[in-house]
Amino acid sequence: QKEVEQDPGPLSVPEGAIVSLNCTYSNSAFQYFMWYRQYSRKGPELLMYTYSSGNKEDGRFTAQVDKSSKYISLFIRDSQPSDSATYLCAMRDAGGTSYGKLTFGQGTILTVHP
């Protein structure tokens, strides 16, 4: 079983739709949760990160963490064609020997069509 599971999609939505992206994880040591956006043939860029359970909002993006269920989500409101990319969840523990090491989900390919 992978430590982080993410549905690879692909996911295709019309412009303006609300997009929901999700990851589940099995390692209870994970404390930091991140969402990255990766355009084709580019490196990932950090969109949002959260530390505790709950919601965090930034513009059209909302990140949600439920540690009890080991489940994280990213919601995109009013999706735009420019949001078309691969979205990767990533997470890491608080420190120790694996300090800084990120574990990524497989990534979900999102296409927002006009």
Partner 1 sequence: GAVVSQHPSRVICKSGTSVKIECRSLDFQATTMFWYRQFPKQSLMLMATSNEGSKATYEQGVEKDKFLINHASLTLSTLTVTSAHPEDSSFYICSARALGGGPLNEQFFGPGTRLTVL
Q: Which of 49, 61, 71, 75 binds partner 1 (CB under 8 A)?
A: 49
What secondary structure does DSSP assign to 26-37, as a single string? --TTEEEEEEEE
Q: Does 25 bind partner 1 (CB under 8 A)?
A: no
CB of 16 to partner 1, least distance (A): 27
Q: Does 8 bind partner 1 (CB under 8 A)?
A: yes
Residue 8 or 16 having the CB closest to partner 1: 8
What are 27's two structure tokens? 């390692």
Which residues does 97 contact at the CB level (< 8 Å), separation at least 6? Answer: none
What distance in Å separates the CA atoms of residue 30 and residue 28, rounded to the nearest whole number?
Answer: 5
User: Which residues form the interface with partner 1 (CB under 8 A)?
Assistant: 6, 8, 32, 36, 41-46, 49, 51, 88, 99-107, 109
